[in-house]
Amino acid sequence: MNNERYIAALEISSSKIIGAVGRARPGGQTDVLAIESEKSDDCVHYGIIQNLEEAAARIRSVISKLESKPEVAPRKIRSVYVGLSGLSLHSVITNVDVRLPEETEITDSVLDTLRDKALTSTVDSDYEVIDAVPRSFKIGKLETTTPKGSIGQDVSATYDLIVCRREMCRNISRTLPEKLGIRSEGFIVTGMATGHILLSDEEKRLGCMLVDIGAETSTISIYRYGHLQFFATLPLGGRNITRDLTSLNMLEQRAEEIKRTSGNAIASENPPQLNLNGLKLSDVSNIIVARSEEIVTNIIETISHAGLKENDLPGGIVCIGGGSKLNGMLELIANKSNLPVRRGQLPSYVRLEDMRTSSADSIQVASILYEGATLNDAECLETPQKAEIPVTGTANAPADERTGAAGPETQMPPKPRRRGLFDRIKQGIGGYFRPDDEDDSDLY
């Protein structure tokens, strides 16, 4: 079909590096054709690549597996959209304004000027600004969320700047283009991308909260009046529960298995008295319940930290991420918050065609794919050209492209090293939370 484009995405977290290839169709639909992943807990720490060689090897493996899929082959991945998630990601409010020569209609050009000013706000040198999300505008003294088309001379805006530690983007740049020859089509904040496709316009207008409980962090996005009002990442996730269980003299892999099969976030009225290979299930339950309540309590307290009350969010709480799949976790969040709670689901216009992956496990990378498809018209994959085989058995190329001199011996020219560079991102500002560590993975 005409105007179809193939796009690719990477989500780099401290538990997995996930890659996906999708097809952007006319009309706004995105088909997720293939998803592959590799463990990354030994080379990515809280969302920041720590070992460039190991991370490059894992990404290379993910790319190779994707390219071998029948839905993708013989196409090759030349560029990707990169999803960012990590503890240092958070929002900071900034105000900008512009005075026009005279009263005139507010156009896209004026709004672009405001956004550019927001992106270049004075910031802490340890941070980079990834995105500037508009919260509200003023035309003169009139506040509005839809400024385009209004008439005025003095225009101001409030933006939420999404910032992260500089190492996050810098180490991705050192890994993708420099070590793998794969260029970036742009950084996408995973928490923002999921909010775009999982939350309805009505939920955003009413007021709602999106919670992504990952392995080591929980990302919180709060919306009101149709716009983002607060964005932050907490240093708590499903892996905290797993590591607590290792205090019962077991390895982390075994602890994860027990948590998945026997764990529940809500305490039972009749605690289990059974033993499992010498392990008291009552001890397991106590540990899981205690840590789950801590995680949920901190998530709910984020509402007041954002300057809001629970009744300001009648749209409720939408939960995603591996940590939210723990038995009883959604029920515990509902009990603690007294708000309606639902599990996030991919919308119909993002179609998952890789049947080996569940919809719940693919939400984050599918959101990055869809966001990338709407950012620009980039084509991330290319089809290799078939070599033309001459009748004489000699390559059909000029002499200077083979050996530098005419002769029967044939040499193919060396393939040029691809050295794409990331677009330079403006400097960011100091954090609202302690950015000692970073990440937002979707495992639990």
Burial 79-101 (b: 16+ CB within 10 A, else e): bbbbbbbbbbbbbbebebebeee
What pLDDT does 192 receive? Answer: 96
Q: What is the pTM of this model?
A: 0.83
Q: How far is CA 179 from CA 54, 287, 438, in A?
A: 11, 43, 23
Q: Where are the beta strands (DSSP E) in 172-255?
A: 183-189, 208-213, 218-224, 227-234
What pLDDT does 340 receive? Answer: 97
What secondary structure does DSSP assign to 139-152, as a single string?
A: ETTEEES--TT-EE
pLDDT-flagged residues of the chain (< 70)? 1-2, 272, 387-444
What pLDDT does 396 receive? Answer: 52
Q: Which domains does the chain have, with CATH numbers?
A: 5-87+167-197+348-382 (3.30.420.40), 91-163 (3.30.1490.110), 202-343 (3.30.420.40)
pLDDT in tens, 117-133: 999 997 788 999 999 99
pLDDT in tens, 374-397: 988 899 999 988 766 665 555 454
Tell me how far apart the alpha carbons of residues 426 and 119 are, in angstroms, rounded to a whole number. Answer: 6
What pLDDT does 418 receive? Answer: 37
Token code pair at residue 408: 């029967």
Whether the ω angle into residue 74 lies within 30 degrees of 0, i.e. cis, is yes
What pLDDT does 98 receive? Answer: 96
